[in-house]
Chain A
Amino acid sequence: MNKKDLSLLVLILVVGAVVAFINPRFLYVGNLSNTLNQVGMFGIFSIAEAFVIIIGGIELSVGSVIALLGVLFIDLIVNHDVNWMLAFTAIIASGLVIGLVHGALVTRMHIQPFVVTLCGLLIYRGAARYYTEDATAGFGFGASFPTLEWLTAGRTNMLGFPVPHSVIALIVVAAVAWVLLHRSVFGRYLYAVGKNEEAARYSGIRSERVMISAYVICGGLTAFAAILFAMYTRSISPAVHGSFYELYAIAAAVLGGCSLRGGEGSIIGVVLGTVLLQVLQNLVNLLGIPSSLNFAVMGAVILIGVLADQYLVQRRHRVSTAKGREAASIATAPLERVKVE
């Protein structure tokens, strides 16, 4: 855990303590369990987004993909009686294909990732609405998939605390992603390409493949999140389901230390970023702040966080250059120093 992650954790604990102090319901088992469930689902697609941001790209179609694939998943198992395991596999595969297409458009056709995924955002949302004729897709009264429901939306008691399975899924995903990003060769390549694609290429890294893989991983994880959301909400109105989720994902990644210029960010940071966003969401509900202010609160906290971070970085920089200059100032005239400042 680096310094940045640590300060984020402290921030979460402080905000949590304040909320708990004002409204003790924050710490109720039911509330915590629900918040954790949200963290689980949001965390998975935030990690997905982080992969793309680390290579210096952006993925804006996350929310629309969650809507489209969610609708398709429910339709497959409810209306077409497809075995849920088969449907599960098919949906994940679709997510991977979407990622592959995005990655190919970005690297081979040299279209900016913002444009590619913005088009995706519009297309998948439209497709989801058209497919259901703008009607809500959901489970009928009789429909029941006990195993699937237990796996995706269930909770298991651990030491008297109902742990949502989405959180367990997030922990597994985060652990694998952590190893992949921070310990494996592929992770090194991701960071190298994000930092300086040219230098990566000169070092023999097939940067196009690395970039495409990042979009594919993002697509696959987003598809997984789509299934979790579908099973959790149990009914999907394709016009609104998952809207703005890409922004939650980007916000979590940025809070977690990802730079939109690429090459930076940690998995722990992204998970903590997701936790902070969900705690803030919860705070709005619990403290009786009008829910219309939801986004405003989040935006303000992110802005303050980024500003504080920037301030600290600059201060550290100033301190270190001042130290360096002290040694140099013996040699240079005082005039020079004034100019530098």
Chain B
Amino acid sequence: MPEPFLELIDISKSYPGVVALDHVGLAVSPGEVIALIGENGAGKSTLMKVLGGVVEPSGGRIRVDGAERSALTVAEAIAAGIAFVHQELNLFDNLDVAGNVFIGREPVHGGPLRLIDRKALYARTQPLLDRLGADFAPDAPLAELSLAQHQLVEIMKALSLDARLVIMDEPTSSLTLSETDRLMRVIAGLKADGVSIIFITHRLNEVMQCADRAVVLRDGRMVGALTRAELSPAAMIRLMIGRDLKSLYVPPAAPPGEAVLDIVEAVTDTYPERAVSLSVRRGEILGLAGLVGSGRTELARAIFGVDPLRGGMIRLEGDPIRVASPRAAIDHGIYLIPEDRKGCGLLLDVSIAENISLPDLSSYLRFFLVNTAQETENARGQRERLKIRAPDVATTVGSLSGGNQQKVVLAKWLSMRPKVLIFDEPTRGVDVGAKQEIYEMLRRLTDSGVAILMISSDMEEVIGVSDRIAVMHEGTISGFLDRSQFSEHNVLQLAVGHAVEMRVP
């Protein structure tokens, strides 16, 4: 094994209230393919951002070619030969391939005019294309290329910078199978040239296919490393989980009733050839687990009428309904508490009272005008009920903490008559105390007969709060779990597309 040229030693990173990385070490040798795996939020992306110079670690050292320092800047990372292929690609779709590869470093001629030397630009791009076996021309407009081809352009950009290490953040998450295959071949080719690769992925079979070793992160700590010989899906999953979950579970007052919301063969835009079927029963919390990008948010948006449903149907209390817009969903009593609270859930510089009344203003009418006294009174009631911490209901929502903002979103819907509530990441960015209050509120709602669908990437939350769990994998339901089958292991198995051996209790 050649000597490592890059070493991360004892790297830590903490944000206010969160430890994202806790004394993580990693060494990279030339020509090595390292898979970085772990659950959502395990710290994988943060670690790679430290390598790319985007995030400054709060502790630890980075050794590049023997020289030690406490942090890298982006420029230093590039100079050290570290290149980053981002999950959301950083490309300009108004330029052509060559323009993207050499952005900011265009060959120029014409002296002080600094005109772009197009001939040289294309001539330099062609060898890179050949090296990757790409089937498009240097002057192909980026807008006409597929996502997989965009990725190749990013890799070319890395190679043109003489990268020794290419970091790929979930490179295959939006590729088709054949495209993934080709990427695997590209990775093998780079490895043969002595370029090292770190790739973050949720797909364990890809790790099996091309990694020399796997590094597993959990809760910001490195919990294990597997050599090529030790690699197996079971071993990886075992390392990814394995902490004791606090029990948050409060059982429902009564067993769940009949199905309130039936999703039958629903198809969304993101996965046009996959369908989702599930039903949520009266008085239960159905947790919807899955990895980021498995299509859960898209499903929620389709049920709520934000995006059109491409196929299948929705039944509410047995009757088929058509949900063409959020208005229609709301009129049916289906409400969504969206993931992007600030973008979709609230008007930030508007008062608590006005935010709460917004979806149901017509019931605050007095002679066609908004009865602000009634509005304020209702908002006060909700503030009391949900324990929203604010001086009064005229306070603008933007000045509240995450937890209190989430309670305002919830208050909007609780002022009406919910039949089905869909929560998309109900406690993201919410502090522990408010979390507990929100969970209690969920249980009180189901006990009063509401059906709740709770999308969550937080394992503790999914297992601790749900009465039943549905797991999504690449646009479809890969399995349901009853409480007796709840375990982090089972959820994760289904989330990465493996079957669960059902042990009958």
- Looking at the complex, which one of B326, B354, B361, B412 makes contact with A201 (CB distance below 8 Å)? B326
Known: A188-B361, A204-B330, A205-B327. A199 touches B345 (CB 8 A): yes
A191–B326 CA distance with the chains assembled, in angstroms = 18
Chain A residues with Cβ under 8 A from B338's Cβ? Answer: 202
Chain A residues with Cβ under 8 A from B430's Cβ? Answer: none
A200–B358 CA distance with the chains assembled, in angstroms = 8
Known: A185-B365, A188-B354. A199 touches B347 (CB 8 A): yes
Which A residues from 153 to 197 make CB contacts under 8 A with B? 179, 183-185, 188-189, 191-192, 195-196
> Residues 318-357 of chain B: 1 if any A CB is under 8 Å from the residue's CB, otherwise 0?
0000000111011100001010000111111110001000
Known: A192-B358, A202-B326. A184 touches B370 (CB 8 A): yes
Chain A residues with Cβ under 8 A from B358's Cβ? Answer: 188, 192, 200, 203, 205
* A198 beta carbon closer than 8 Å to chain B: yes
* B414 beta carbon closer than 8 Å to chain A: no
* A325 beta carbon closer than 8 Å to chain B: no
Chain A residues with Cβ under 8 A from B326's Cβ? Answer: 201-204
Decide: B369 and A183 in contact? CB cutoff 8 A: yes
Decide: A203 and B359 in contact? CB cutoff 8 A: yes
* B362 beta carbon closer than 8 Å to chain A: yes
Decide: B369 and A204 in contact? CB cutoff 8 A: no
Chain B residues with Cβ under 8 A from A206's Cβ? Answer: 325, 327
Question: How many residues from B make CB contacts under 8 Å with A?
Answer: 29
A183–B366 CA distance with the chains assembled, in angstroms = 10
Of chain A, the residue at the smallest CB distance from B350 is A195
* Nearest-Cβ distance from residue A201 to partner chain B, whole angstroms: 6
Chain B residues with Cβ under 8 A from A205's Cβ? Answer: 327, 358-359
* Nearest-Cβ distance from residue B391 to partner chain A, whole angstroms: 14
Decide: A203 and B412 in contact? CB cutoff 8 A: yes
Q: Which interface residue of A179, A183, A185 has the most chain B CB atoms within 10 A?
A: A185
> Residues 62-94 of chain A: 1 if any B CB is under 8 Å from the residue's CB, otherwise 0?
000000000000000000000000000000000
Which B residues from 358 to 403 make CB contacts under 8 A with A? 358-359, 361-362, 364-365, 368-370
A139–B460 CA distance with the chains assembled, in angstroms = 80
Which B residues from 109 to 126 make CB contacts under 8 A with A? none
Give the size range of A's interface with the partner: 10 to 19
Of chain B, the residue at the smallest CB distance from A188 is B361
- Looking at the complex, which one of B330, B331, B343, B364 makes contact with A196 (CB distance below 8 Å)? B343
* Nearest-Cβ distance from residue A320 to partner chain B, whole angstroms: 10
A203–B413 CA distance with the chains assembled, in angstroms = 9
* B161 beta carbon closer than 8 Å to chain A: no
Chain A residues with Cβ under 8 A from B64's Cβ? Answer: none
* B306 beta carbon closer than 8 Å to chain A: yes
Of chain B, the residue at the smallest CB distance from A196 is B347
A199–B412 CA distance with the chains assembled, in angstroms = 12
A191–B369 CA distance with the chains assembled, in angstroms = 15
Of chain B, the residue at the smallest CB distance from A198 is B344
* Nearest-Cβ distance from residue A97 to partner chain B, whole angstroms: 25
Chain B residues with Cβ under 8 A from A192's Cβ? Answer: 347, 350, 358
Of chain B, the residue at the smallest CB distance from A185 is B361
A87–B409 CA distance with the chains assembled, in angstroms = 50
* Nearest-Cβ distance from residue A186 to partner chain B, whole angstroms: 9
Decide: A183 and B343 in contact? CB cutoff 8 A: no
Decide: A204 and B327 in contact? CB cutoff 8 A: yes
A41–B349 CA distance with the chains assembled, in angstroms = 33
Which A residues from 196 to 222 make CB contacts under 8 A with B? 196, 198-206
A170–B344 CA distance with the chains assembled, in angstroms = 37
A306–B80 CA distance with the chains assembled, in angstroms = 48
Of chain A, the residue at the smallest CB distance from B331 is A204
Chain B residues with Cβ under 8 A from A201's Cβ? Answer: 306, 325-326, 344
Chain B residues with Cβ under 8 A from A202's Cβ? Answer: 304, 306, 326, 336, 338, 344-345
Chain B residues with Cβ under 8 A from A188's Cβ? Answer: 354, 358, 361, 370
Q: Which interface residue of A185, A203, A206 has the most chain B CB atoms within 10 A?
A: A203
Decide: A185 and B370 in contact? CB cutoff 8 A: yes
- Looking at the complex, which one of A179, A189, A196, A199 makes contact with B369 (CB distance below 8 Å)? A179
Chain A residues with Cβ under 8 A from B345's Cβ? Answer: 199, 202
Decide: B369 and A184 in contact? CB cutoff 8 A: yes
* Nearest-Cβ distance from residue B15 to partner chain A, whole angstroms: 14
Of chain A, the residue at the smallest CB distance from B328 is A204
A179–B369 CA distance with the chains assembled, in angstroms = 8
Chain A residues with Cβ under 8 A from B349's Cβ? Answer: 195
A198–B336 CA distance with the chains assembled, in angstroms = 13
A200–B354 CA distance with the chains assembled, in angstroms = 12
Chain A residues with Cβ under 8 A from B336's Cβ? Answer: 202
Known: A183-B370, A206-B325, A206-B327. A199 touches B343 (CB 8 A): yes
Interface CB pairs A-B, < 8 A, 27: A179-B369, A183-B370, A184-B368, A184-B369, A185-B362, A185-B365, A185-B368, A185-B369, A189-B361, A191-B350, A195-B349, A196-B346, A198-B343, A198-B344, A199-B343, A199-B344, A199-B346, A200-B347, A200-B358, A201-B325, A201-B326, A202-B306, A203-B412, A204-B326, A205-B327, A205-B358, A205-B359
Contacts A185-B365, A199-B345, A204-B330 aside, 16 further interface pairs with beta carbons under 8 A come to A179-B369, A183-B370, A184-B369, A184-B370, A185-B364, A185-B370, A188-B370, A192-B358, A195-B350, A201-B325, A201-B344, A202-B326, A202-B345, A203-B330, A203-B358, A203-B412
Interface on A for B, CB 8 Å cutoff?
179, 183-185, 188-189, 191-192, 195-196, 198-206
Closest 9 CB pairs of A and B: A204-B330, A203-B359, A185-B361, A204-B327, A203-B358, A204-B359, A183-B369, A202-B344, A195-B347
